[in-house]
Structures are given as structure tokens and as C-alpha cells.
Structure 1
Amino acid sequence: MVERTRFDDSDCPVARSVDAIGDWWSLLIVRDAFDGSRRFGEFQRSLGVAKNILTTRLRALVAAGVLDTAPASDGSAYHEYVLTPKGRGLFPVVVALRQWGEQNLFAPGEPHSELLDRRQGRPLRALEVHAADGRPLTPDDTTVHKLD
């Protein structure tokens, strides 16, 4: 088996982020956690992923501090997976991926799930990247500054 390239010591925040949660199963687990999944069986039913793969991904997300385990809320002997503050910080990432997919991967009029504002019941406004002074930014407006 080929060993996966690791980026956990890279000086690039994108590379480290991909190293921590860049696997598609991991992102889908995080998505499902935002949607309310908490138990192994809920993730397994939603994703249809093999149990051994799900076990590996859940352990990695716990080790990375994205998820934590807690006693089951119903008092049973099981445990549940809950998003940590670090995991909840992935919300804009998941929303950005969702919005990119909506714009680029569906034909006009093709049905797909929608993320709605719970209070107003309406779709979210498109995410934008803004400068510290509030100006919207594009890739042409930014540069990467590498620290020594």
C-alpha cells in the first residue's frame, strides 16, 4: 500500500487543513454532524460507508480535535460524537463547498438539498471573502505572504 503524503508540518494553512480533514468521508461526516447526526449508526446509514472506514475516519476526527465523544444523551451505554469548537469552525467551509456545488455541479432546475436559515426559512446569501475594511475580495486582490 502506498503511504499517504502528510502535510501536518507544512507552513501552508491550506495543506495542514487538508491533512486534518481533507478526506471526502471526513468532510461528509462533519456535514452530517452539522445536520444533527451523533451516533455511529446514524453516520453509517446516512453515508453508506463501510464500518471500518467510518471507524477510522471518526477516530481521526476525534484525534484532530474536530469531534469529541460524549455519553449518549439518552443515558444508554453508547457514546455520541459531538462537534468541538474546532469542528464548529468548519461550518463556513462546509457552506462554501455546498454553495460552490450548487452553482457549478447542478443543471438549471435540477433538484438538490438546500441549507436554510432556520429563523426565516430562506436560503443563505452567498458567502464572500472581505478585506478587513469590508471590501469584497477576489483571488486577484490577495497575495500569500510566507513567514520565515
Structure 2
Amino acid sequence: MSDPHPPPGSASGPDDRGPTDVGPTRDAPTAHPRDASSTPHPVQAAPSPHLGPPSRSTHPRAVPAMVLGLVGLSGLFCLVPFALSPVAWYYGAVARREAERDERTWAPSPFATAGIVTGAVGTVLLVFGTAAVVAVALVTWLVTGSSTGYEP
């Protein structure tokens, strides 16, 4: 009489397989355990938008600082917008200072840095340009004399 439950590892016939004769399973690794390419990787869930830090945005004065700085530098060709350069420098400095002070709300912005740089360059050009205009006017006044040409 044949035993309905043969001991583990033994087979009673060619079609009967014991527990150790089972081929590789889907979950079992087939290569060496140190081989990183053959180990199963855990599935990672997408990050929840509610768990991460809140997104930081660019300070609202950063982009206007850059734009005013660029417009101020264009004053090299137009002469009038140079007066915007100090405003660009100020806006850029305020945006950078507030971003450093409140890092959770404002992200560091290259726009603020561009506003500071272009505003500073434009302000220096404004100072030199104003000094040149005053010097030319003073020299012209001294050369022509102080008389206006009006003699009573």
C-alpha cells in the first residue's frame, strides 16, 4: 500500500515531486545575494504632497528688481532710465534679505542677485554721469564767464 503523504524530499514516482523538488519561485533570488542587480527592489510610493515641506516661491520684489536693473542699464543709451537703478538695487537687497530671514517662505533667487548687480552698476554709472554733466556745465560756465550777456 502506498503512503498518501510521503516524507519531505522523497518522490514516489516520476510525476510526484516533493517540497524540495519545486523549481525556483518568483520571490526567491536566483543569483548570489550580494549581487545588487538580482535582489528584488521594494516598491516606493509617490511622495504625498501633504507630507513634504511647503514649496517656496520667489520673493515678489526679486523679478521687478532684475527688470528695473536692466531698464536702468539701458539708460546708457537713453539717459533717462538711469534713475531706476537705485530702485532696482534696493528691491534686490530687500528681496534677498527677506529670503534669508524667512527661509521657509521665500527661496533664494538669482533674480534678486541680478537686480542687486545691475542696480549697483547702473547707480555707479548714474553717479559718474551726473558728475560728468555737472563738471561740463561748471567748466562751460567758467570758460564763458559769469556774465549772461545782458548789460543794462
Q: Shorter chain as normaliser: what TM range?
A: under 0.3
| Higher share in helix | 2
| Higher share in strand | 1
Higher relative contact order (CA 8 A, sep 6+): 2
Q: Which protein shows a greater Rg?
A: 2
TM-score, structure 2 normalization = 0.24
TM-score, structure 1 normalization = 0.24
